[in-house]
Amino acid sequence: MEARRRGLEWLARLGYAARGLVSLLVGLIALLAAVNGGGEVAGSKGALQAIFTQPWGSAMLLVVALGLFGFALWRAMQSLADADRRGTGWGALAARAGQLVSSVIYVSLGIFAVNLAIGAASGGAEDQAARDWTRWLLAQPFGRWLVGAVGLAILGAGLGMGAKAFTASFRRHLACGPGAAEWVIPLGRAGYAARAVVFLIISAFLIIAALQADPSEARGLGGALVALQAQPFGRTAFGLVALGLAAFGAFEFAEARYRRIAP
């Protein structure tokens, strides 16, 4: 039992590191685009493709995939087994439902990484994937309501991340001393603030897709960044969000070290 517990903890910590690497690459790629006044913006799948193009890229991707699967397993335990001891209040149940959705997302991302590493996948069209599942939802009974509900759920997640940035409530899950907290907490605040902006943009596009019954309005992470970049004030805001996403990646590496994990 102890060996199983330690193995799960190791997988969870590897998962935080893998998630951090992906977010760090997304932020750095976006930051380069902001500094150059334009250029390609990548989402999570684009970040995995960037890893694939490096020397030993396939091997690195398989390690990252293992981490993503480990993070998905930890998310499932947070949701189903209440590993963080959130309880069963309405707010706690909503947060745990979000963790279960996150688990599914990271399983999907891990599968994409494996397929990319073995040559069974060639592209990371996140926006197209978002449009495909939005189109599928719209084709179901009450489809517009379903898409709208997903948009509102993502809106709620974005507002929750904004609250985390403001209150730094994430610190209660960290076991680090005052010295480490001096740099870990600001990284977490900046990271959650940037993710809040991205989630709010994604939710806005989904709500528009629901209102117009038009799946082409849906966007993924990369599409949300492109939309922000295209605004009149977008270059400055885009640069700040890119910096924040990179900060979140660094924060996730800190979580891999300091996160309290009780499998």
Domain map (residue ranges) of the chain: 2-258
Q: Report the distance separating Cα 238 and Cα 225, nearest Å.
A: 7
122 phi, psi to nearest 5 deg: -130, -10
- The beta strands (E) that lie in the chain are given as none
Residue 225 near residue 177, CB atoms below 8 Å = no
Joined together, the tokens standing for residue 137 give 């939802």
Q: Report the distance separating Cα 230 and Cα 222, nearest Å.
A: 12
Q: Which residues touch 103 (CB under 8 Å, ≥6 apart)?
A: 72, 73, 75, 76, 79
- Greatest alpha-carbon span in the chain: 57
Residue 124's pLDDT is 53
Q: How far is CA 27 from the centre of its chain?
A: 12
Torsion of CA 197, 202, 204, 207, to 10 degrees: -150
Residue 20's pLDDT is 94
Residue 251 near residue 176, CB atoms below 8 Å = no
What is the block-wise mean pLDDT of the chain (263 residues), using blocks of 10 residues?
80 92 90 74 82 85 92 90 81 84 89 85 67 89 90 90 94 88 94 95 93 89 83 80 94 93 73
Residue 92's pLDDT is 80
Residue 259 near residue 173, CB atoms below 8 Å = yes
